A and B are shown apart, each in its own frame.
Chain A
């Protein structure tokens, strides 16, 4: 079966510090990968998605970036965090399916607080 991991689970960082969140998927190959942010009491905002190694699409202009150095590894980064970057960050994966979406499966999330 497939498993998705995220770490760290919780992070408190000062404004202006760098960020690196990691997501890995087990039990599947060549998945689509996604990064979402969920602000308190709000829905999920898609930040980045990737259909393959080195292929990243950005949905929202911001000071965050994403990379996919390996097939099942997805990293979210920032050089300098802002207060507004606080939130719950979720990684998700889906299987590729010709011509249509497949459901997305979410990791446990990372709660980021920027002070």
Chain B
């Protein structure tokens, strides 16, 4: 069993819709939670970083962490075609090694 599970998609939504992405993890020692966005043939770029349960907002993006359920989510409001990318969750323990999900491909259609 992988330590971080993420549905690979693809997830296709119309422009303006809410995109909902999620990951589950198995190791309760994980403390830090990140979401990266990766455009085709590019390196991942950091979108969100959080270390506590609850919600964190940044513009149209909301990261949600539920440590009791070992479940993290990313919501994208008012999605745009430019949001079409692969979204990777990344989780780490206090030793600094990141465990990545496989990534979910998102397609926002005009």
- A101's nearest neighbour on chain B, judged by CB, is B96
B 4-33 to A, binary, CB cutoff 8 A, 1 in contact else 0: 101010000000000000000000000110
A-chain residues with CB within 8 Å of residue B49 when the two chains form the complex = 103
Question: How far is the CB of A111 from the nearest CB of chain B, in Å?
Answer: 7
Chain B residues with CB under 8 Å of A109's CB are 41-43
- When A and B form their complex, what is the total count of cross-chain residue pairs whose Cβ atoms lie within 8 Å? 56
Q: Is A52 an interface residue (CB 8 A)?
A: no
Contact B96 A106 (CB under 8 A): no
Instruction: Give the number of residues in B that approach A within 8 Å (Cβ atoms).
Output: 27
Interface residues, chain A, CB within 8 Å of chain B?
Answer: 6, 32, 41-44, 46, 49, 88, 90, 94, 99-109, 111
Query: Which residues in B have some Cβ–Cβ distance to A below 8 Å?
Result: 4, 6, 8, 31-32, 34, 36, 41-46, 49, 88, 90, 92-98, 100-103
Which A residues touch B34, using CB under 8 A? 103
Q: Is the CB of B102 within 8 A of A42?
A: yes
CA distance A28 to B46 in the complex (A): 18
Distance A44 CA – B4 CA, assembled complex (angstroms): 12
Report the separation of the CA atoms of residues A101 and B101 in the bound assembly, to the nearest whole angstrom. Answer: 18
Question: For residue A41, which residues in chain B have a CB less than 8 angstroms away from its CB?
Answer: 8, 102
A92-B60 Cα distance, complex, nearest whole Å = 26
Is the Cβ of A32 less than 8 Å from the Cβ of B46? no
Write out the residue numbers on chain B whose beta carbons fall within 8 Å of the beta carbon of A104: 46, 90, 98
A7–B90 alpha-carbon span in the complex (Å): 25
Instruction: For the complex formed, measure the closest distance between the CB of A41 and the CB atoms of chain B, giving whole angstroms.
Output: 7
Bound CA–CA A94/B93 (angstroms): 15
Q: Min CB distance, A42 to chain B, in Å?
A: 6
User: How far, in angstroms, from A97 to B101 measured CA to CA in the complex?
Assistant: 24
B103 pairs with A43, CB closer than 8 A: yes
